[in-house]
Amino acid sequence: MQKNNEVKFEVLHLPPTNTNSLLVTKGTDAVIFDPWGRASDWEKVLLERGLKLRAIYATHGHPDHISAAPALAKAFNVDWFLNEKDNYLIGWGNEILDMFGIPHIHAGFKKPINISNGLIEILPDLDMEILESPGHTPGGLMFYFPEYNILLIGDTLFQESIGRCDFPGGSEQQIFDSIHKLYEMKLDNETYVVHGHGMDTTIGWLKKNNPFFK
């Protein structure tokens, strides 16, 4: 029997709709990015699709990007990854989760493993470039998949605006520097961009429509 080893990227909106999460699969292996929502809902998705969770990654430590991460990592005995400069945010802003009826993140939950700039293999033969992009938070990260030309940009850059810098640890100068660094990478106009919230775009679209992308 031939095993289906195709790599698939899918943006998921677990209830209540708010944050864009990314599910990356290769065969039955799965990696989740920015697991918004309840861990129990993610467990259902994985079970229904017969997927084996291998790891969880977060673009930054805000609760709407990690709400299910610690509990899901514990339930499936996998690691979850975050830049350590955002560790102080774990357990911060639980009132945001209250607004959505999502269980709180507790400081005693499974701790993340630090990741920073570099190229890593997240599944067999699937490379991901990690780009530090502080500003919205000190430990903000972007994830780029060179072979597939897909960029997960987090809350650094939105469709026509930038992420907020008025939360604890935010810095307007840093976010402009991070955006400029990304601009200087000269990614193809066709590069597919998944934002932390809202519709997906492309690098070409951002050049045309986002006045901060320069």
- Residue ranges that bind Zn ion, judged by CB under 5 A: 62, 155
Cβ-based nearer residue to Zn ion, 54 or 62: 62
Cβ-based nearer residue to Zn ion, 18 or 201: 18
CA dist., res. 90 & res. 92, Å (int): 5
Task: Give least dist CB 199 to Zn ion, A.
Answer: 17
Cβ-based nearer residue to Zn ion, 46 or 141: 141
Cβ-based nearer residue to Zn ion, 156 or 191: 156
Q: Which residue is nearest to Zn ion (CB)?
A: 62
Identity at 75, one-letter amino acid code: A
Task: Give least dist CB 164 to Zn ion, A.
Answer: 7
Cβ-based nearer residue to Zn ion, 72 or 140: 140
Task: Give least dist CB 63 to Zn ion, A.
Answer: 9
Cβ-based nearer residue to Zn ion, 36 or 42: 36
Task: Give least dist CB 57 to Zn ion, A.
Answer: 15
Task: Give least dist CB 140 to Zn ion, A.
Answer: 8
Task: Give least dist CB 175 to Zn ion, A.
Answer: 11
Q: What is the DSSP string of the chain?
A: ------EEEEEE-PSSP-S-EEEEEETTEEEEES--S-HHHHHHHHHHHT-EEEEEE-SS--HHHHTTHHHHHHHHT-EEEE-GGGGGGTTTTHHHHHHHTPPPP-TTSPPPEE--SEEEEEETTEEEEEEE--SSSTT-EEEEETTTTEEEEETSB-SSSB----STT--HHHHHHHHHHHHHT---TT-EEEESSS--EEHHHHHHH-TT--
Whether the CB-CB separation of 63 and 93 falls below 8 Å is answered with yes
Closest CA to 139 of 130, 127, 148: 130
